[in-house]
Amino acid sequence: MDIFRPEDLTSDEQAILGVLCVGLPPARAAEDEHFRVDHVTAVVCSLFETGESTAYLDKDEITVLPVFRNRLREVISSLAGRGILADQPPGMPAPPGSFEAGLAIDLVNPDEHPAVLDRVLAQQCMEVLLRNSVIYPYLMERYSASGEIWRKLREQGYGD
């Protein structure tokens, strides 16, 4: 198995791995499309490249533009090909940051995102993102909001 470091990856690859490591709740369970992995990654990449958050979002500032979705799919495919992610087939949600065959997961199809196989690299990528002064406030807000949503979901019996 190859050992990768964040500096071996493109900024897009660092972004998706870092975002997957944040621990976002499923968007449908959170009842908020702002928690979609593609949305958060689009905002992170936009902040990194332009300093603005909406470069890859449609006018509604929620929907990810098709050009970025395609770019993200290529990045995920590349990372899956190197054994860093396990790409999930469309329509199959993955538990954030893990991959266990037969694991009981949310069947309401909240998000489609890959499972992280190299958790150390993903954590390092999240740290790279958090060291960026433009990305830090946004990502910390998502992290904080995620914690509150996960607390509410658990109180409602999510995952039991």
The reply to whether the predicted model has a pTM over 0.95 is no
Q: How far is CA 24 from CA 5, 11, 139, in A?
A: 23, 20, 10
Dist. CA 16–CA 4, nearest whole Å? 15
Residue bearing the bigger pLDDT, 93 or 113: 113
Residue bearing the bigger pLDDT, 108 or 155: 155
Nearest CA among 100, 104, 32, 99 for reference residue 61: 32
The predicted structure's pLDDT at residue 114: 79
Share above pLDDT 90 across residues of the chain, in percent, rounded to a whole number: 63
- Domain ranges (residues) in the chain: 8-155
Does residue 142 carry a pLDDT above 80?
yes
Q: How confident is the model at residue 146 (pLDDT cuts 50, 70, 90)?
A: very high
Q: How confident is the model at residue 28 (pLDDT cuts 50, 70, 90)?
A: confident
The predicted structure's pLDDT at residue 78: 93
The owner of tokens 């469309």 is 90
The predicted structure's pLDDT at residue 19: 95
Mean pLDDT of the chain: 84
